[in-house]
């Protein structure tokens, strides 16, 4: 039976719409293991970023809160990794590198490539608040589709509890450090997240296009050169190579 | 003359500045960006170096990149062509990777620093390693051997170096072994097979090897055969690193050695499977050592020199270095504190100064402390803001207090002076503890470093007392200077040094010279007066997956997140406040916020 969600645990309409997809993604044990491992890495990376925020802020209260937040993220990483290891042991399968649906079911939260050393506390808090909120929305869906796996569900439940604290403190602190304009910062952070999402999408598409073009070139243009390279390789003897007398030691050259 | 050396884009990027022939500062990017093994273009490191020396980019006479990007591109493209059509998956990735940024280094450096492109120069990767090893070593003439996974084409090179009486410097390369035949790649392949991270966790293979027997040496020798000219060649049927980026070993490798280790499963040495992995590690370690020793013996016969300078990532293998010292015929072996790619930043800059510009040779200070300095007053401020106990001491009183702490079994985070350059904590960013009991080792592994129980901890001892506790062979003091050799703990001392004695009775000991780190030396002596043993456990000041701490604030956050008892930065000593309710630090913070 699914408990009635608390307000902060309500998934967004978009996440709710994707519930069947999430159910499918999480139904397979191998996929679940891979996703949990990936989540573990994301949480740990997020923890390091927040730890860095704790180290660069000049606000003592924020430093302590960030530090606790970072400790939570590291713990979440461990929880995910341990659960993945348990599932691996139980399933006795090799790791699966097939479709993981990562872009449909992303992990906790990164900080959108935020340059932590150059950001102000208010920007950081706004980003963190939105990241935590988004993560809470997704994790509440993951928890709900995990009825067949109570231990994993319990992990999401525990993490959701922490996310609540993170969401709340980031908002409270944002209002403290920027009482007049905290809403404006939230909007700015939302727009920035959107822009970065677009950049990620555009970069991803460009990478796919680039791979396709390079693969076509590989099969169309390279075969004669490959034939020549193999012929040369066959004439080479392994062992010591002495420098060619014509080789230039000039430091001006890149080759 | 101001020369900036840069290494980047493979792993562990770094910058180093040489002014009038002497290094003045060097730092790895990871120590500033706080991303372990940061391979990005080292902008932060460059900025810090220039700021530290107080010079503007336009005052640089040259900026030297540590390898030749187009030669590397040549290697990657040639290997892709040779592996056609198996390389079809790797080809797009490799091209995007190289063409995206890496081959355009001249333009990138020029635009980042605003210096003329003519000032941007390039050394070869193994030239940089050779220069880092020879030009920083206090020797006039030495044979040079460099070995790593791969540079442009070379994976291992041998040569010699000479400082002439007229101030001229020569570094000659006799010959090299080329990719894909690589000792570093052989070791890294086993690193991956054993479930560790390539280019990062090779030292874990070395640590694991002590738990195993080299029962699979014959199998490993099938992978690497000696060639008639005294070099070696890998049997590429067992490898895939030259055709794909996905996996470094082939199905035939798995047929030979059995299924690889799942990286997420801990190694249980009490099981047959765990022992098989340890035996694998012991076997590849043995073959690596044998090969290096034979190559070095041949180089010694050829050059007749007493000294050998070792460079490249393979020189981080302290067990192999110790065998080289005793079996190669060389009397002294010099390994720089950063023999890996980061150290190439210093090597490239020195090579450019001595060889390219022909500047006269200068003595290079013989220490690893080239990074940013720690500020004790910053630590005091942070601790007081958070309600922890911070005391500021005069030097002698601090040493006495910390020696008392250590003698009472407390674990100390120790920060002083300038940050080390290279992967080892050599006494300026260290976690120190009493070396007596296995309980201390287990506590450190479990509560502070959060790492595998099979990994050993290193000791530090004053050089003059080393012989009482360790079997240091002739010439071993040099290897021990930067923790580059693994030597036996004297049998009668092992029960007193349980925390730092590895399962095979050895330790990767640092032999500390007073001049190199006087405060740590004084601490060792003070600890020795209290306990009778002037030896401390010395491990790098970082937690698992994080770079070594740099500033006081990073040491402080590490201190708060772990069970380190005492934190020291220069003259400031901090201890955690104790809670009346016994609640943990996170619980206390939640309560405070609530």
Residue in A225, A233, A239 closest to B227 by CB: A239
A226 touches B at CB < 8 Å: yes
Which chain B residue's Cα is nearest to A56? B553
Residues of chain B neighbouring A243 (CB-CB closer than 8 A): 173, 175-176
Distance of alpha carbon B420 from alpha carbon B434, whole angstroms: 22
Contact A68 B590 (CB under 8 A): yes
Give the distance from residue A222's alpha carbon to the nearest chain B alpha carbon, in angstroms: 7
Contact B356 A225 (CB under 8 A): no
Which residues are paired to B105 by β-bridges?
Answer: none
Torsional sign, CA B69, B74, B77, B80: negative
Same domain for B361 and B216? no
Mutation target for B interface from A55, A77, A172, A249: give the one with most B CBs within 10 A.
A55
Same domain for B445 and B342? no
How many other C-beta atoms are found inside a 10 Å radius of the C-beta of residue A1? 4
Contact B177 A239 (CB under 8 A): yes
In a domain, B593, yes or no: no
Query: ipTM greater than 0.90, yes or no?
Result: no
In a domain, B474, yes or no: yes
In a domain, A246, yes or no: no
In a domain, A33, yes or no: yes
Distance of alpha carbon B485 from alpha carbon B507, whole angstroms: 8
Q: What is residue B593's predicted lDDT score, i.e. its pLDDT?
A: 45
In a domain, B37, yes or no: yes
In a domain, B450, yes or no: yes
Does residue A113 have a pLDDT over 80?
no
Give the distance from residue B175's alpha carbon to the nearest chain A alpha carbon, in angstroms: 4
Same domain for B377 and B346? no
Contact B121 A64 (CB under 8 A): no
In a domain, A244, yes or no: no
Total tally of structural domains belonging to chain B? 3
* pLDDT in single tens digits along all 594 residues of chain B: 999 999 999 888 999 999 999 999 999 999 999 999 999 999 999 999 999 999 999 999 999 999 999 999 999 999 999 999 989 989 999 999 888 888 999 999 999 999 999 999 999 999 999 999 999 999 999 999 999 999 999 999 999 999 998 989 999 999 999 999 999 999 999 999 999 998 889 999 999 999 999 999 999 999 999 999 999 999 999 999 988 777 899 999 999 999 999 887 888 999 999 999 999 999 999 999 999 999 999 999 999 999 999 999 999 999 999 999 999 999 999 999 999 999 999 999 999 999 999 999 999 999 999 999 999 999 999 999 999 999 999 878 999 999 999 999 999 999 999 999 999 999 999 999 999 999 999 999 888 888 887 888 999 999 999 999 999 999 999 999 999 999 999 999 999 999 999 999 999 999 999 999 999 999 999 999 999 999 999 999 999 889 999 999 999 999 999 999 999 999 999 999 875 444 455 555 554 443
pTM: 0.91
- Local structure of B572: helix, strand or coil: strand
Same domain for B283 and B191? yes
How many other C-beta atoms are found inside a 10 Å radius of the C-beta of residue B254? 14
Give the distance from residue A229's alpha carbon to the nearest chain B alpha carbon, in angstroms: 6
Inter-residue long-range contacts of A82-90, CB under 8 Å, 24+ positions, other chains counted: A83/A36, A83/A151, A83/A152, A83/A155, A84/A32, A84/A33, A84/A34, A84/A36, A84/A37, A84/A40, A84/B264, A85/B264, A85/B265, A86/A151, A87/A29, A87/A32, A87/A33, A87/A36, A87/A152, A88/A33, A88/B262, A88/B264, A88/B265, A89/B265
Same domain for B484 and B424? yes
- Tokens 């401390």, residue? B536
E strands, chain A, are 240-241
DSSP letters spanning B245-285 = SS-SB-HHHHHHH-SPPPTTSPP-TTSHHHHHHHHHHHHHH
Question: Does residue B421 contact residue B338 with C-beta atoms inside 8 Å?
Answer: yes
| C-alpha count within 13 angstroms, C-beta hemisphere, residue B536 | 35
Residues of chain B neighbouring A226 (CB-CB closer than 8 A): 81-82, 84-85
In a domain, B439, yes or no: yes
CATH number of the domain bearing residue B489: 3.90.870.20
Q: How far is CA A13 from CA A17, A22, A24, B47, in A?
A: 6, 14, 18, 46
Same domain for B357 and B414? no
Range of the domain at A64: 7-212
Question: Does residue B87 contact residue B80 with C-beta atoms inside 8 Å?
Answer: yes
Contact A240 B84 (CB under 8 A): no
Strand-strand pairing, B141-147 and B307-311: parallel
Contact A255 B68 (CB under 8 A): yes
Same domain for B84 and B220? no
CATH number of the domain bearing residue A93: 1.20.1260.10
Range of the domain at B459: 371-575
Contact B88 A252 (CB under 8 A): no
- Local structure of B369: helix, strand or coil: strand
A63 touches B at CB < 8 Å: yes
Q: Model confidence over A65-102: pLDDT tens digits?
A: 999 999 999 999 999 999 998 888 887 654 444 444 44
Residues 6+ apart with CB under 8 A from B407: B434, B527, B530, B531
Distance of alpha carbon A140 from alpha carbon A10, whole angstroms: 7
Interhelix angle B318-327/B202-209, nearest 10 degrees: 60
Residues of chain B neighbouring A241 (CB-CB closer than 8 A): 175-178
Q: How far is CA B118 from CA A253, B122, B128, B354, in A?
A: 11, 11, 20, 19
Same domain for B125 and B191? no
Residue in A67, A223, A238 closest to B84 by CB: A223
Same domain for B357 and B216? no
Mutation target for B interface from A41, A216, A240: give the one with most B CBs within 10 A.
A240
In a domain, B201, yes or no: yes
Give the distance from residue A144's alpha carbon to the nearest chain B alpha carbon, in angstroms: 27
Question: Does residue B554 contact residue B34 with C-beta atoms inside 8 Å?
Answer: yes
Distance of alpha carbon A165 from alpha carbon B310, whole angstroms: 53
Same domain for B460 and B395? yes
Contact A67 B553 (CB under 8 A): no
Same domain for B286 and B247? yes
Give the distance from residue A127's alpha carbon to the nearest chain B alpha carbon, in angstroms: 20
In a domain, A218, yes or no: no
Distance of alpha carbon B157 from alpha carbon B160, whole angstroms: 10
Total tally of structural domains belonging to chain A? 1
Q: How many CB pairs under 8 A join A and B?
A: 144
- Tokens 């090893």, residue? B133
- Local structure of A184: helix, strand or coil: helix
A98 touches B at CB < 8 Å: no
Residues 6+ apart with CB under 8 A from A54: A62, A63, A64, A66, A67, A69, A70, B557
Distance of alpha carbon A221 from alpha carbon B134, whole angstroms: 45
Question: Does residue B119 contact residue B60 with C-beta atoms inside 8 Å?
Answer: yes
């Amino acid at each position: 039976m699914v408990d009635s969600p608390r307000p902060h645990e309500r998934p967004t309409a978009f996440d709710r719409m994707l519930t069947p997809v999430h159910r499918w993604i999480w139904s397979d044990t191998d996929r679940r293991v891979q996703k949990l491992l990936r989540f573990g890495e994301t949480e740990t990376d997020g923890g390091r970023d927040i730890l860095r925020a704790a180290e660069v802020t000049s606000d003592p209260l924020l430093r302590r809160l960030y530090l606790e937040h970072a400790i939570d993220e590291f713990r979440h990483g461990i929880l995910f990794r341990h659960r993945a290891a348990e599932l691996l042991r139980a399933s006795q399968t090799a790791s699966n590198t097939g479709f993981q649906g990562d872009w449909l079911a992303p992990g906790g939260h990164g900080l959108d490539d935020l340059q932590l050393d150059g950001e102000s506390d208010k920007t950081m808090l706004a980003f963190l608040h939105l990241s935590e909120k988004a993560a809470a929305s997704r994790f509440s869906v993951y928890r709900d589709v995990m009825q067949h796996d109570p231990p994993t569900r319990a992990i999401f439940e525990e993490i959701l509890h922490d996310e609540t604290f993170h969401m709340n403190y980031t908002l409270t602190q944002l209002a403290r450090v920027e009482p007049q304009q905290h809403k404006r910062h939230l909007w700015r952070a939302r727009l920035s997240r959107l822009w970065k999402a677009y950049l990620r999408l555009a970069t991803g598409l460009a990478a796919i296009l680039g791979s396709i073009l390079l693969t076509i070139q590989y099969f169309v243009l390279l075969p004669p050169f490959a034939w020549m390279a193999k012929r040369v390789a066959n004439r080479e003897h392994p062992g010591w190579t002495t420098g060619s007398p014509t080789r230039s030691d000039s430091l001006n050259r890149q080759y | 003359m101001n020369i900036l050396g840069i290494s980047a884009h493979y792993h562990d990027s770094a910058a180093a500045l040489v002014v009038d022939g002497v290094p003045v500062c060097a730092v790895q990017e990871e120590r500033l960006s706080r991303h372990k093994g940061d391979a990005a273009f080292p902008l932060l490191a460059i900025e810090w170096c220039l700021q530290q020396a107080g010079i503007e980019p336009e005052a640089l006479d040259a900026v030297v990149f540590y390898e030749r990007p187009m030669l590397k591109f040549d290697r990657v493209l040639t290997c892709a062509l040779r592996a056609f059509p198996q390389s079809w998956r790797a080809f797009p990735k490799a091209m995007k990777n190289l063409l995206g940024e890496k081959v355009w280094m001249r333009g990138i450096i020029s635009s980042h620093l605003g210096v003329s492109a003519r000032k941007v120069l390039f050394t070869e990767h193994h030239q940089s390693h050779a220069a880092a090893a020879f030009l920083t070593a206090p020797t006039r003439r030495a044979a040079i051997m460099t070995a790593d996974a791969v540079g442009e084409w070379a994976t291992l090179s041998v040569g010699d170096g000479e400082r002439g009486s007229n101030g001229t410097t020569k570094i000659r390369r006799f010959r090299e072994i080329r990719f894909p035949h690589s000792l570093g790649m052989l070791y890294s392949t086993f690193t991956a097979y054993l479930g560790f991270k390539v280019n990062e966790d090779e030292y874990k293979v070395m640590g694991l090897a002590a738990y195993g027997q080299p029962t699979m040496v014959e199998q490993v020798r099938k992978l690497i055969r000696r060639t008639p000219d005294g070099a070696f060649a890998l049997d590429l049927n067992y490898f895939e690193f030259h055709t794909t980026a996905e996996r470094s070993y082939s199905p035939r490798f798995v047929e030979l050695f059995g299924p690889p280790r799942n990286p997420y499963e801990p190694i249980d040495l009490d099981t047959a499977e765990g022992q098989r992995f340890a035996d694998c590690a012991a076997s590849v370690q043995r073959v690596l050592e044998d090969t290096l020793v034979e190559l070095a013996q041949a180089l010694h016969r050829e050059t007749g020199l007493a000294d050998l300078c070792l460079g490249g990532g393979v020189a981080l293998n302290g067990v192999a270095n110790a065998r080289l010292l005793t079996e190669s015929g060389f009397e002294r072996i010099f390994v720089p504190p950063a023999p890996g790619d980061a150290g190439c930043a210093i090597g490239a800059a020195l090579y450019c100064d001595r060889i390219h510009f022909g500047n006269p040779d200068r003595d290079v200070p013989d220490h690893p402390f080239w990074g940013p300095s720690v500020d004790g007053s910053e630590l005091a401020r942070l601790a007081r803001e958070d309600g922890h106990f911070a005391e500021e001491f005069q030097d002698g009183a601090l040493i006495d207090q910390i020696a008392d702490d250590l003698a009472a079994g407390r674990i100390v985070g120790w920060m002083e002076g300038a940050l080390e350059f290279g992967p080892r904590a050599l006494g300026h960013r260290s976690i120190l503890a009493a070396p007596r009991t296995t309980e201390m080792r287990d506590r450190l592994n479990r509560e502070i470093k959060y790492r595998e129980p099979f990994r050993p901890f290193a000791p530090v001892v004053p050089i003059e007392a080393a012989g009482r506790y360790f079997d240091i062979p002739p010439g071993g003091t040099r290897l021990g200077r930067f923790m580059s050799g693994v030597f036996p703990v004297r049998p009668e001392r092992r029960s007193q040094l349980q925390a730092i004695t590895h399962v095979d009775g050895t330790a990767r000991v640092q032999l500390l010279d007073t001049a190199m780190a006087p405060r740590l030396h004084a601490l060792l002596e003070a600890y020795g007066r209290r306990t009778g043993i002037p030896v401390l456990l010395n491990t790098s000041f970082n937690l698992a997956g994080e770079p070594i701490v740099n500033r006081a604030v990073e040491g402080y956050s590490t201190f708060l997140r772990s069970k380190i008892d005492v934190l020291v930065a220069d003259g400031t000593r901090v201890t955690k406040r104790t809670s009346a309710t016994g609640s943990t630090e996170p619980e206390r913070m939640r309560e405070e916020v609530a």
